[in-house]
Amino acid sequence: MPQEVKFLSAQQVLLTTLIVKLAVVATLSTMLVRFRWFRRILLTEKRDWPERLVFAAGLGVPLTAGVVSRLLLHYNAADLTLAGAFLAGLIAGPYAGAIVGALVGVPALVAGEFIALPFAVGCGFAGGGLREACPKETIWLFSPLFFTGLPRQAWRMLRRLQLEWHIILLTAPVSLELLRQALGHRFGATRLFYLPPTGPWMYVLVVLATVLSVAIPIKIWNTARIEHRLQEQEKLLLAAKVEALASQIHPHFLFNTLASIASLIRSQPETARTLIVKLSGLLRRLLRSHEHFVTLREELEAIDEYLDIESVRFGPKLRIEKAVSPDSLDLIVPSMILQPLVENSIKHGLSRKVGEGRLIIRARRERGAAVIEVEDNGLGMSEERLDRAMLGGIGLRNVNERLQVIYGANCRVRLDSVPGQGTRASLEIPELVVADRITA
């Protein structure tokens, strides 16, 4: 016995159409905000004409496709004429709203719906006029959960006898939907597309769907704006932290070097003079550079200038060796990251050593990371002194904090030392080459 085919009632069809309509709105809004150019337009309130046209085209083309699919495929849920044109005006101004209204109105006009074009353009101008009148940030606060604060806002408006823009923003799409219902009822669906309700409650749901079709995109786009601003704030905060930490190194290095020069002025005035000349050259280089990240080659060149100063101080007592892999020279490292390590080796490891002091700088690529080591054959340190050096020294603490700010908590300087034999400071940072160069 064949099963009886059950068809949806008119009320069920309308309810399904409204639900699918909201799904189409949410999907379209989410897809658009994934494009960088569209997201960039949302971030600014003052937009020039090219940006308005891009916004109108980006929103208007898919909305026009929705109207065409409704005309050709009878897919009523894809027609977002009222909400789309009003939303374009509300976000980008009256002319952008009118352009979107014209885009979505023309296919309907061609199909014989003569009221569709002026109605859609009017919706665009209505949204644009509201944008010009109300505070811009109030628009972004229009939420799908508008009804939760509606009684409080209505009471405040009545009590203070002043406009509540949230109420006005809600009233506008409601009024436009009521106007569409009235025009559609008067002239028929062949002159203006509308969803005729089957009862009072369905009438309310049709109006509610129109309001939500405006509120949902605003909520999605505002969330994207907030996320982008938070990301920008995080970048600025990171840059500020790196700048503050890097600025601590220069005075620390400068005071130590000046103290060394002061100790030589009476006993070795020519040596002190040479140190001052080399120090001025190094400081000039530091002042010219505003990069937070440099290649390892540039960092080693800066270290060479510093070591020239120390070589003048110590003479043949200090021997410098380098074991730098050529393929590591183009790796990106934080600027001034090696100078504190070299300075600590000389000051705490080699300056009080009897006999020749040897400083070795190594760099290589290993397992997708840059491994850099600074080793000396100085006095070395006990475990207790190592802990104090990591926690109390300005240079090492600064390097550790910079590494953790930039690369995460697991990236830090490792110290290995044997009393009487020397100390090795090593760090391992993610491998970046010149093509991937970044700034804080």
Q: What sections of 289-393 are H helices per DSSP? A: 296-314, 339-344, 383-392
Where residue 137 falls among pLDDT bands split at 50, 70, 90? Answer: confident
Answer whether residue 410 is part of any domain. Answer: yes
Answer whether residue 252 is part of any domain. Answer: no
Q: Domain check: are 108 and 219 in the same one?
A: yes
What average pLDDT does range 406-425 have in this prediction?
A: 84
Answer whether residue 255 is part of any domain. Answer: no
Give me the pLDDT at residue 59, please.
93
Q: Is the pLDDT of residue 158 over 80?
A: no
> Which residue, 186, 208, 232, sits at the end of a domain?
232
What average pLDDT does range 34-38 have in this prediction?
A: 87
Give me the pLDDT at residue 3, please.
57
Give me the pLDDT at residue 388, please.
72
- Higher-confidence residue of 102 and 336: namely 102
Q: Is the pLDDT of residue 435 over 80?
A: no
Q: Domain check: are 212 and 271 in the same one?
A: no
Kindly tell me the burial class for residue 266, based on how many C-beta atoms sit within 10 Å of its own C-beta (0-12, 13-18, 19 or more).
exposed
Q: Domain check: are 224 and 278 in the same one?
A: no
Q: Is the pLDDT of residue 125 over 90?
A: yes
Q: What sections of 4-141 are H helices per DSSP? A: 10-33, 36-43, 49-73, 81-92, 94-110, 116-133, 136-140
Distance CA 376, CA 343 (A): 11
Q: Is the pLDDT of residue 369 over 50?
A: yes
Sign of the C-alpha dihedral, residues 403, 409, 414, 415? Answer: positive
Answer whether residue 57 is part of any domain. Answer: yes
Q: Is the pLDDT of residue 355 over 90?
A: no
Where residue 121 falls among pLDDT bands split at 50, 70, 90? Answer: very high
Q: Domain check: are 225 and 275 in the same one?
A: no
Answer whether residue 258 is part of any domain. Answer: no
Give me the pLDDT at residue 161, please.
67
Q: Domain check: are 140 and 201 in the same one?
A: yes
Kindly tell me the burial class for residue 32, based on how many C-beta atoms sit within 10 Å of its own C-beta (0-12, 13-18, 19 or more).
buried
- Look up the CATH number of the domain holding residue 311: 3.30.565.10
Q: Is the pLDDT of residue 280 over 60?
A: yes
Averaged confidence pLDDT in the chain: 83
Answer whether residue 272 is part of any domain. Answer: yes
In total, how many domains does the chain have? Answer: 2
Q: Domain check: are 222 and 311 in the same one?
A: no
Q: Domain check: are 344 and 424 in the same one?
A: yes
Q: What is the pLDDT of residues 289-343, one digit of tens each?
A: 566 788 899 888 888 877 887 787 777 788 889 999 998 888 888 877 888 888 8
- Higher-confidence residue of 328 and 150: namely 328
Q: Domain check: are 364 and 226 in the same one?
A: no
Answer whether residue 395 is part of any domain. Answer: yes
Q: Domain check: are 141 and 18 in the same one?
A: yes
Position 134, amino acid? C
| Cβ contact 119:181 at 8 Å | no
Query: DSSP readout, 31-50?
Result: HHHTSHHHHHHHH-SS--HH
> Which residue, 232, 255, 283, sits at the end of a domain?
232
Answer whether residue 243 is part of any domain. Answer: no
Q: Domain check: are 338 and 420 in the same one?
A: yes
Distance CA 374, CA 264 (A): 27
Helix (H, G, I), strand (E, B) or coil at 75: coil
Q: What is the pLDDT of residues 53-71, one digit of tens each?
A: 899 999 999 999 999 999 9
> Which residue, 185, 207, 232, sits at the end of a domain?
232
Own/partner pairs, 2-7, CB within 8 angstroms, 24+ separation: none
Q: What is the pLDDT of residues 190-243, one digit of tens each?
A: 999 999 998 889 999 999 999 999 999 999 999 988 888 777 767 655 665 555
Domain membership of residue 40 as a residue range: 10-232
